[in-house]
Amino acid sequence: MSTVPSRPGAAWQAYLLPLLMALVLLSLALAIFLGVVDLDPSDTLAALLGHGSPEARAIIIEIRLPRILTGMLAGIHFALAGLLLQSITRNPLADPSLMGVSQGAMLAVSGFLVFSVYSHDTGSTTLQELPVQWLPLVGTAGGLAAGGFIYLIAFRRDLGPLRITLCGIAVGAVLHAIGIGLMAGWGSGRLEVLLEWFAGSLYARGWQHALFLAPFTIAGLAILPVIRRPLELLRFDATVARSFGLSYQVQFSVVLLIACALAASAVGVVGPVVFVGLIVPHMARFLAGRHPPLVLPLTIALGAIVMTLADLAGRLVGGAEEIPIGVVTAICGVPLLVALLRKTP
Amino acid sequence: MLSCSNLSISYGPRKALDGFTISLAPGEIRALIGPNGSGKSTALQGLSGLIKPAEGTVLIDGAPIAAMTRREIAHRLSFLPQQPTAPDEMTVEQLVRQGRFAHVGLFRRYDRRDEDAIGWALESTGLAPLAQRSLSALSGGERQRAWISAALAQEAKILLLDEPTTFLDIGYQIEVLDLVHTLSRERGVTVVMAIHDLNQAMSICDRISLLEKGRVVFDGVAADLAASGLIERVFRVEGQFVQISPDGPPHFDVHLQRRQERRTSAATA
C-alpha cells in the first residue's frame, strides 16, 4: 500500500527555497552596494576583493559588511526564536518581547549603564566613555536571566503554554517598568545611546558584534535537526504529545532554552527589534502552505532577508540621520501582520 | 499484558482514583463505565503513565511503566484522550504521521514499514480519501476518526480510548465500535475504553469495570453486571435488563420519569 499522495502546489513550492536563498544573496549585494555614502560600484567591488581606495575599503569592509552580517545573524535569531516560541506556547502572537526576554535584556543594559556611569564618575556626558562594548554580553545575560526566571515560575506547577505566556507578559511588564524607571530623570546625552539601543538599531555595529552572535547562531542552527520532530509534537496538548512518545518537559525546556539564547543574544547586540520574531514565522508558514518541513528553512532565510532590507531602507530613507531598524520593522510590520492574519484560515 | 493494582491518584485533597485494580488479557476489550467524575479518565491516564500515581504500580508485560521512557511506553500503548486538539492547518495525513514518532524517533527516516502503517491506519478509519484535507475542514466525526487513525498508526498492542464515541452520530459510533472489535479479534489488540453508552459497552466488551467515586465497584462480564443491580444504584436510575436475543448481551432499558407518570395517571383514571 503506497501512501505517497499527490501534493497540490508542490511544483512551485519546490522552487521556494532556492528562490529565497537567491534573495538572501541579492539583499546582501544591495545592502553592500547602496548606502548614504555614494560609492562607485566598481570601487565597491574592488574594495570587496581587497583592492580599491582606502576610503572605499574602510566603508565597505569596516562599516557596511559587518553591519549587514550582524543584521542577518540577528534577523535569523529573532525569526527562529519567534518560530520556536510560537510553536511551544501554541500562541501565534508569541515573540521574544512577549516572553520577557527583551525586557530582561533592556533592564540589564540600563542597570549596567547607570551603575557604570555612577561608579566610574567620569563626570562626562559623552557617549564614548560609556562602556558600550559590554552591552551585548550584559543584554544577553539579562535576557537569559529573565527567560530562566519565567521558566522557573512556570515549571513549579506545570509547563502549561498559557501559564508560561502569562508569566512572560507579567514579568516583562515589571522588568520594563523598572528599566524605564532607572532612566527617569537621567537626562543628558547619555540617554541617547540607551534610546537608540531600545529602538533596536544596527548603527555602528562592527565585526565584534557579528563575532559575538556567530557562536549562538551556529549552535542554534546545529541543534535544529535534533528538535525538528519534537517541535512538531510540541504544538499539541502535553497529553497528546506524551502519548505519541515525546518526553514533553525535556523537549519543551530544550526548545525554550534555545529560543531564549537566540533572542537574548540578538537583543543584546541590536536591541529589541520588534515584529521580526513575530512576523517572519507567519510569512514562512504562509509561503510553506501545506509543506510544514519548509517552515523552518524559510524562517531562517526570511529572517536574514527582512532584517537586511529593513536596515537598508532605514539607511537610505533617513539620509544622514538614519532611521533605526526597529522603527522600520514596526512601521512595515503591522500592515503585513494584518494582511497575513486575514489570509490565514 | 496490562495490569495495575491498588492505583490511587489524587488531585489536591480529592482522591480521584482510590485503589484501582485491573488486569487485562491479550486481545481483551474492556469497558470503563461510571457516572461523570467517577474517575474513568483518571484511570486511563494513570494506566498510560501520564499521571504519576500516589500509590500503586502499572505493569506492561510485567515491567513497571514508571521505569519506561515515553517512547518505550508509546511503543506498547497508545492513548487517545478526550477531545484532543491539533494545530488547525495540520492535514489528516500529517496528524497520522505523528503517530509514528515512537518508531522513527528524532532522526530515522520514514521507511516502507512506517508508510504502510500510516496507509493502513488511514484505510481502516476510512480516511484515505481525506488524507490531504486539513483538520479544521473536517466534521466532528471525521476529526475523531483522524485521531483514532493516529493512535492506530502507533501500532501498539494496547489501545486506551477515552470516550471515543462521544459527539459522534450513531453511524460513526458503531463504526468506531466495529473498528475496535476488528482490532481486538484480528490484531490481538487489547482495548480499554471509557464509554457512556451502557448498552454499547455491554454489547462489545469482554468485561466491564464499573467505577463509583474513584473505586471499582464491579469487575466482570455483562450478564453478572445485569444481575448485580449496581447500575440502578450507581447511576440513580430505574430500569430493567432485558434479553433481546437469547445469545446476545443483555440490554438495559431505562424507565423515564415522564413515562412512569403517564402510566400512573392512566392507572388512576
Q: Nearest chain B Cα to A345, which residue?
A: B89
Contact A235 B93 (CB under 8 A): no
Contact B84 A230 (CB under 8 A): no
* Sheet containing strand B29-33, strands side by side: B77-80, B158-162, B190-194, B29-33, B207-212, B215-220
B30 membership: H or E segment, kind and range:
strand B29-33
A345 interfacial to chain B (CB closer than 8 Å): yes
A119 interfacial to chain B (CB closer than 8 Å): no
Dihedral of CA A307/A310/A316/A320: which sign? Answer: negative
* DSSP structure string for A33-69: H--SS---HHHHHHHHTT-S-HHHHIIIIIIIHHHHH
Q: Residue A255 has what pLDDT?
A: 92
Q: Residue A120 has what pLDDT?
A: 59
Sorted by where each begins, the domain ranges of chain B are: 2-68+157-268, 86-155
Give Dmax over CA atoms of chain B in angstroms.
78
pLDDT at B17 over 80: yes
Q: Residue B110 class from Cβ within 10 Å (0-12 exposed, 13-18 middle, 19+ buried)?
A: middle
pLDDT at B266 over 70: no
Give the closest residue to A160 by CA, choosing from A229, A233, A234, A238: A238
Beta strand pairing status for B77-80 and B250-254?
unpaired
Residue appearing with cell numbers 529589541? A272
The ipTM of this complex is 0.88
Question: CA B160 to CA B180: how far, in whole Å?
Answer: 11
Question: CA A251 to CA A318: how far, in whole Å?
Answer: 44
Give B-chain residues touching A244 at CB under 8 angstroms. 74, 98-99, 101-102, 150, 154
Out of B106, B120, B136, closest to residue A345 by CB: B136
Q: Where are the alpha helices (DSSP H) in A200-247?
A: 207-233, 238-243
pLDDT at B200 over 60: yes
B132 interfacial to chain A (CB closer than 8 Å): yes
Contact B86 A240 (CB under 8 A): yes
Q: Nearest chain B Cα to A224, which residue?
A: B106
Residue appearing with cell numbers 474492556? B30
Backbone conformation region of residue A134, classed left if phi is above 0, alpha if psi is from -120 to 50, else beta: alpha
Q: Per residue in B78-89, pLDDT tens?
A: 999 998 888 878
Q: Give helix A248-270 / helix A101-120 axis angle, nearest 10°.
A: 40
Question: CA A323 to CA A311: how far, in whole Å?
Answer: 8
Give B-chain residues touching A226 at CB under 8 angstroms. 106-107
Give B-chain residues touching A233 at CB under 8 angstroms. 98, 101
Q: Residue B269 has what pLDDT?
A: 56
- Domains of chain A in sequence order: 39-325 (1.10.3470.10)
**Beta-strand (E) ranges in A98-229?**
none
Which site among B101, B147, B160 would you substitute to test the A interface, given the most A Cβ atoms closer than 10 Å to its Cβ? B101
Give B-chain residues touching A236 at CB under 8 angstroms. 84-87, 98
Question: CA A272 to CA A78: how far, in whole Å?
Answer: 9
Which site among A224, A243, A290 would you substitute to test the B interface, given the most B Cβ atoms closer than 10 Å to its Cβ? A243
Q: Which residue has the higher pLDDT, B161 or B243?
A: B161
Query: What is the least distance, in Å, from the CA of B243 to any CA of chain A?
Result: 39
Question: CA A31 to CA A311: how far, in whole Å?
Answer: 8
User: Could you tell me the CA-to-CA distances from A11 to A6, A286, A292, A299, B169 in Å, in that order?
Assistant: 11, 16, 15, 20, 40
Q: Residue A102 has what pLDDT?
A: 86
Contact B85 A237 (CB under 8 A): yes
How many Cα atoms sit within 13 Å of B125 on the Cβ side?
A: 27
Please count the other Cβ atoms lying within 10 Å of the Cβ belonging to residue A320. 6
Contact B119 A236 (CB under 8 A): no
Three-state SS at B145: helix
Give B-chain residues touching A232 at CB under 8 angstroms. 98
- Statement: B2-68+157-268 belongs to CATH 3.30.930.10: no
Q: Nearest chain B Cα to A8, which residue?
A: B132
Question: What would the mean pLDDT of B207-211 be, rounded to a whole number?
Answer: 94
B83 interfacial to chain A (CB closer than 8 Å): no
Question: CA B208 to CA B24: how far, in whole Å?
Answer: 11
Contact B131 A4 (CB under 8 A): no
Question: Which residues of chain A register pLDDT less than 50?
Answer: 1-9, 124, 126-128
Q: Which residue has the higher pLDDT, A297 or B268?
A: A297
Contact A292 B94 (CB under 8 A): yes
Contact A244 B123 (CB under 8 A): no
Q: Per residue in A50-75, pLDDT tens?
A: 777 888 777 888 888 898 999 999 99
Contact A240 B73 (CB under 8 A): no
Residue B159 backbone phi and psi in degrees, to 5: -125, 120
Q: Residue A275 has what pLDDT?
A: 85
Share of residues in chain B with pLDDT > 90 (%): 51
Q: Residue A4 has what pLDDT?
A: 41
Q: Nearest chain A Cα to B108, which residue?
A: A229
Which site among B51, B52, B70, B132 would you substitute to test the A interface, given the most A Cβ atoms closer than 10 Å to its Cβ? B70
- The set of cell numbers assigned to A198 is 531600545
Query: What is the least distance, in Å, from the CA of A3 to any CA of chain B?
Result: 6
Q: Nearest chain A Cα to B151, which residue?
A: A244
Q: Per residue in B87-146, pLDDT tens?
A: 878 899 999 999 999 999 888 889 999 999 999 999 988 899 999 998 888 888 888 889
Question: CA B193 to CA B162: how far, in whole Å?
Answer: 6
Query: What is the least distance, in Å, from the CA of B93 to any CA of chain A?
Result: 9
Give A-chain residues touching B79 at CB under 8 angstroms. 239, 243
User: Could you tell me the CA-to-CA distances from A205 to A72, A197, A211, A272, B48 in Å, in that order?
Assistant: 12, 11, 11, 15, 54
Chain centroid, CA B226 distance in Å: 21
Q: Which residue has the higher pLDDT, A112 or B58?
A: B58
User: Could you tell me the CA-to-CA distances from A162 to A15, A86, B109, B224 in Å, in that order?
Assistant: 37, 12, 33, 47
Question: CA A29 to CA A205: how far, in whole Å?
Answer: 18
Please count the other Cβ atoms lying within 10 Å of the Cβ belonging to residue A309. 21
Q: What is the CA radius of gyration of chain B?
A: 20
Out of B71, B101, B122, closest to residue A3 by CB: B122
